[in-house]
Amino acid sequence: MKNQEQELLVMLLAGGILAIAVVTFIVIIVLQYQRRQHRHEKELTRMKDQYEQEVLRSQLEIQEETFKMIGQELHDNIGQVLSVVKLSLSMLPIRKDHEAYEPIFTSRQILNKAAQDLSDLTKSMHNDRIAQIGLVEAIRHEVENMRKSGVLHVEFETVGSEYHFDGQKSTFLFRMFQEMLNNTLKHSKASQLDVRLLFSDDNKFSLILADNGVGFDVEAKRNSVSSSSGVGLKSIFNRAKLIGADLDMKSIPGKGTTVTIQLSLPQES
């Protein structure tokens, strides 16, 4: 009887150990499966993000080439026509006391301004020039054009030692600045715009635009597919993502908008 009890105890113990082993084996298999599934999902997400970034990068590169081509066509064709008209007007033998002198003189001034505006436009569309003169100078040129237009008062400030970004980053940052400036002009109803470029000692670059306009709901505009400004905001966020920049956009209806783009500078070796 005692032997039977011992055998039963041994069988129960062996069965318990076997059951624990089976459960442990199942748990290990389930955990491994979950880990593999998690890795697989992460890899799919990474591949999807990489694919979307490559598509976006290609789209932006095509856009830059289109800008470049349009700028060249404007310069070669319309610019040449304006030059011919301006030369023709300058050769007219009309004295100052002639009744047609004032209209012709005014027309020449308008043509001069149109030619200069066209030149500024074609330069801003040319990404090679942006890389050549540098981001700070390109933005300063845009600010000066804005000041000359008298549309709004612009304050411009550069702090720290300028760092020259590579061509793509310079172009992307400048296009983001242009888009934000365009949004300010079209939608903000602002009278004041402050532009600051900060090159800090801890290898951080910040581009800050702050206006005193009417403000807006950032998320609503960004998610709007029908709004042209919504498309513009998406373009700004997409470009920031491609160059690894942090973009912070704060806007309160009735209290203006502040946009901060921050980018880490490469460590000097």
- Render pLDDT for 58-94 as a digit per residue (tens, 0 to 9): 666 666 666 666 666 665 566 666 666 666 667 677 7
- pLDDT of res. 102: 76
- pLDDT of res. 76: 57
For the chain (length 269 residues), average pLDDT per consecutive 10? Answer: 67 78 84 81 71 62 64 61 66 72 74 69 66 85 83 90 80 87 85 92 90 85 59 80 89 89 73
Tell which CATH architecture fits domain 152-269. 2-Layer Sandwich (3.30)
- pLDDT of res. 269: 45
DSSP assignment letter at 266: P
Model's pTM, two decimal places?
0.60
- pLDDT of res. 210: 94
What number of other Cβ atoms are within 10 A of residue 86's Cβ?
17
Contact by Cβ (8 Å): 180, 141: no
Encoded tokens for 188? 């903000």
Exposed, middle or buried, 118 (CB in 10 Å: 0-12/13-18/19+)?
middle
Contacts of residue 196, Cβ cutoff 8 Å, sequence gap at least 6:
156, 157, 158, 159, 206, 207, 208
- pLDDT of res. 267: 60
CA gap 100, 97 in Å, rounded: 9
| Residue with tokens 């702050």, as numbered in its chain | 210
Measured CA distances, 192 to 90, 147, 238 (Å) = 39, 11, 27
- pLDDT of res. 195: 95
Q: Where are the alpha helices (DSSP H) in the chain?
A: 2-73, 79-90, 101-124, 127-133, 135-149, 167-183, 218-222, 228-242
